[in-house]
């Protein structure tokens, strides 16, 4: 039976919680370092930057944070067993990982509620459509034609991610519309939906705090593990790359 058949989807699996006696060797230390610890540390550095900027990378269609992921999804799928093994050997670290995953679940849950509330608000829909219609009247070449159906979820996505500007997306009619009018719609939404958006910000800040605990704990564990086993703290450049 394959790992996939035994464990199901990666995001739906529970990381191992049992603790057993394990003889750690230099080979095992290198495996944990290269396949689990360093990939997670690299990912956490990126995630912390998004969280500090409150850029949740929320996607309205998938209803998930595209670039904020459960801990086991930060590791290449073929190495998830190494992560399970390592966490079973270090329960304190395992508790921090569980806290991280629960923090992400909370953030996603609050973002889902916020999306539902904003999309269902008649005044926001009216404001969005009237603002868009005025923009198109002044820029007839930027009509969305048959795309009005996804104007609302896309606008809500921009609002939840705090995007008053859209960068490279200016190449699309929707992008140019949002570049011109997005700041006023974001300001309107931040005021009208202040309570739920405050909950979103709070959940994101809590997750950032958890990342701030997990990252140094994981790095300290790696350093101690490598020193005890007499191996380098960094991954050789010939393999996956160090942290």
pLDDT the model gives residue 106: 98
Do 127 and 93 share a structural domain?
no
Q: What is the pLDDT of residues 141-150, one digit of tens each?
A: 777 655 667 7
Report whether pLDDT(134) > 60. yes
14 within a domain of the structure (yes/no): no
Do 95 and 52 share a structural domain?
yes
CA–chain centroid gap for 168, Å, is 21
Do 211 and 98 share a structural domain?
yes
Its pTM stands at: 0.84
Comparing 7-11, 110-114, 115-119, the range with the smallest average pLDDT is 7-11
Do 159 and 102 share a structural domain?
no
What is the rounded CA–CA span in Å between residue 98 and residue 92? 10
What is the maximum span of the chain, computed from C-alpha positions, in angstroms?
Answer: 71
Do 50 and 92 share a structural domain?
yes
74 within a domain of the structure (yes/no): yes
Do 108 and 211 share a structural domain?
yes
242 within a domain of the structure (yes/no): no
> CA separation (Å) from 69 to 19, 118, 157?
25, 24, 18
* Domain that residue 179 falls in: 122-192
Q: Helix, strand, or coil here: 16?
A: coil
Domain count, the chain: 2
What is the rounded CA–CA span in Å between residue 156 and residue 236? 44
- What mean pLDDT is reported for the chain? 87
146 within a domain of the structure (yes/no): yes
What is the rounded CA–CA span in Å between residue 178 and residue 157? 12
Do 223 and 172 share a structural domain?
no
240 within a domain of the structure (yes/no): no
69 within a domain of the structure (yes/no): yes
CA–chain centroid gap for 176, Å, is 26
Do 181 and 127 share a structural domain?
yes
Mean pLDDT of 113-130: 96
Report whether pLDDT(57) > 50. yes
Do 99 and 43 share a structural domain?
yes
Mean pLDDT of 180-197: 95
Do 216 and 108 share a structural domain?
yes
pLDDT the model gives residue 19: 46
Do 70 and 185 share a structural domain?
no
199 within a domain of the structure (yes/no): no
Q: Which of 26, 27, 19, 12 is nearest to 80 (CA)?
A: 12
DSSP structural state of residue 163: -
Mean pLDDT of 62-70: 96
Do 108 and 221 share a structural domain?
yes
Residues with Cβ < 8 Å from 7, sequence gap 6 or more?
13, 80
Q: Are strands 64-65 and 58-59 parallel, antiparallel or unpaired?
A: antiparallel
Report whether pLDDT(172) > 90. no
């Amino acid at each position: 039976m394959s790992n996939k058949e035994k464990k199901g989807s990666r995001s739906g699996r529970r990381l191992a919680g049992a603790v057993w006696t394990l003889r750690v060797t230099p080979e095992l230390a290198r495996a944990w370092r290269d396949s689990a610890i360093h990939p997670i540390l690299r990912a956490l550095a990126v995630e912390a930057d998004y969280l500090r900027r409150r850029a949740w990378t929320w996607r309205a269609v998938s209803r998930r944070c595209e670039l904020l992921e459960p801990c086991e999804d930060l590791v290449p799928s073929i190495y998830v067993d190494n992560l399970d093994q390592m966490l079973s050997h270090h329960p304190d670290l395992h508790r921090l990982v569980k806290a991280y995953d629960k923090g992400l679940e909370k953030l996603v849950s609050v973002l889902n509620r916020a999306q539902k509330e904003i999309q269902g608000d008649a005044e926001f829909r009216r404001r969005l459509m009237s603002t868009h219609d005025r923009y198109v009247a002044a820029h007839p070449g930027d009509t969305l034609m048959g795309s009005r159906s996804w104007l609302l979820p896309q606008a809500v996505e921009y609002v939840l991610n705090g995007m008053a500007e859209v960068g490279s997306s200016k190449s699309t009619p929707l992008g140019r519309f949002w570049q011109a009018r997005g700041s006023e719609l974001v300001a309107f939404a931040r005021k009208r939906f202040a309570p739920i958006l405050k909950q979103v910000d709070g959940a994101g800040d809590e997750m950032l705090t958890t990342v701030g605990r997990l990252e140094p704990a994981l790095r300290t564990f790696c350093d101690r593990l490598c020193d005890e086993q007499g191996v380098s703290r960094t991954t050789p450049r010939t393999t996956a790359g160090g942290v």
